[in-house]
Amino acid sequence: MKRYAFGGLVLLLLVCPLVVAQETPPAPTEPVPAAQEPAQEVAEEVAAPSCSDCHDQGKTFLTNPHARGAAVDGGVPNDVCSTCHGDGAEHMEAGGDKSKIVVPRGQAGAEETCMLCHDKANDRMTRRGMHANSEAVNCLTCHSVHSGDARSPHLVSKPQLALCGSCHTQAASMRNKPYAHRLDRGGMTCSTCHEPHGRPAKGERSLALTGHLRTTSDGQAPCLSCHTEKRGPFVFAHGGAEAGDCTTCHESHGSSNPKQLRRATVKQVCMECHSPTGPAPLGSQPPSFHNLSLPRYQNCTTCHVAVHGSNRDPQLLK
């Protein structure tokens, strides 16, 4: 019942101001009595062309961070456009001649406009990261500077799943599997875990060290941003989790198997490590009463419930 009450309140509070706004349109600008304004000033005002006279993007710039602090009377002045496009006077005088205006495109466009401001010390903006500027991938490949989807922050040109999935098809198709994170719903997107601008550090073991992943604020794997209870530390840590990482057992992008596991059955997940057939690797042998042909022992986690680590039982039984 609470969720309905909450939803109802949201509806009421949000719709009311909108309805009021719809019903009481902005008061039309009062015509300035000609007698009170010098005629020359009025003539100049009429003559001054605006980029948005021809380009609708000028209007949508009211949600655009690039025009922050510059909006005037529901529009953006030409200065905002000229930051990236240069002085548009000639372009206007020539009736919109496209050759007389700067149109940043491709790698060069990104480097000569976007990177002038965005290439700060911030590691994420490195020129040599995963998506370093190239003709194939550059700022303008993913960001739509003028008309990003109203619901898409950071001027990303499409919903992230569609955008990233257009190249990263393998990862995107994993999302169709029955057990997957709910991407593009509830605020979770590809960039919740991935750093699209890339951090060049690479590592083998630690997820937090791999270059394309975001980390928690203290530098741990992104999985732990939400699944905080798995952070531990545990008195009896699971060696597989500590020596490996979450992806030792789980498929992060989506899986055909329950719990996004890498294998179809729990016993397979466990036994592939817990079979010391040789001398070297980590992973103990279960005692012989674990008869894998019996249903009771096929789901190891029925007894070993604390597979992520335990503070209370050395065998991870609670």
Task: Name the residue nearer to other proteins (CB basis): 13 or 34.
Answer: 13
Dig out the tokens for 245 from the structure: 């990482």
Q: Name every residue whose Cβ is closer than 8 Å to that of residue 235 and which is 6 or more positions away in sequence.
A: 310, 311, 312
Q: Which of 240, 252, 260, 308 binds other proteins (CB under 8 A)?
A: 240
* CB contact at 8 A, 87 and 78: no
Task: Identify the DSSP state of 236.
Answer: B
Task: Name the residue nearer to other proteins (CB basis): 90 or 135.
Answer: 135
Please report whether residue 47 would count as binding other proteins according to CB under 8 A.
no
Number of residues that bind other proteins (CB under 8 A): 138
Length of the chain in terms of residues written: 318
Least Å distance, CB 175 to other proteins, is 10
Q: Which stretch binds other proteins (CB under 8 A): 47-55, 88-96, 97-105, 296-304?
A: 296-304
Least Å distance, CB 91 to other proteins, is 21
For residue 83, what are the β-bridge partners? none
Least Å distance, CB 53 to other proteins, is 17
Please report whether residue 298 would count as binding other proteins according to CB under 8 A.
yes
CA distance 138 to 110: 7
Q: Which stretch binds other proteins (CB under 8 A): 39-47, 49-57, 89-97, 303-311?
A: 303-311
Residue type at 125? M
Residues in 271-290 that interact with other proteins by CB under 8 A: 271-290
Please report whether residue 318 would count as binding other proteins according to CB under 8 A.
yes
Report phi then psi at 261, rounded to 5: -80, 160
Least Å distance, CB 101 to other proteins, is 19
Tell me the HSE value of 198 on the side-chain side, using a 13 A CA sphere: 13
Least Å distance, CB 117 to other proteins, is 14
- Give the SS3 label for residue 72: strand
Sign of CA dihedral 251, 257, 261, 264: negative
Least Å distance, CB 68 to other proteins, is 5
Task: Name the residue nearer to other proteins (CB basis): 90 or 169.
Answer: 169
Among 17, 199, 61, CA closest to 124: 199
Residues in 100-139 that interact with other proteins by CB under 8 A: 120-123, 126-128, 132, 134-137
Site string for other proteins, 63-102 (x = CB under 8 A): xxx-xxxxxxxx----------------------------
Least Å distance, CB 35 to other proteins, is 26
Dig out the tokens for 230 from the structure: 């798995």
Question: Which strand (E) or helix (H) includes residue 191?
Answer: helix 190-193
Residues in 170-199 that interact with other proteins by CB under 8 A: 170, 173, 176-179, 182, 185-188
Dig out the tokens for 132 from the structure: 């370093």
* CB contact at 8 A, 42 and 32: yes
CA distance 121 to 62: 28
Task: Name the residue nearer to other proteins (CB basis): 58 or 92.
Answer: 58
CA distance 144 to 152: 10
For residue 156, what are the β-bridge partners? 143
Residues in 139-158 that interact with other proteins by CB under 8 A: 150-151, 153
Site string for other proteins, 27-46 (x = CB under 8 A): --------------------
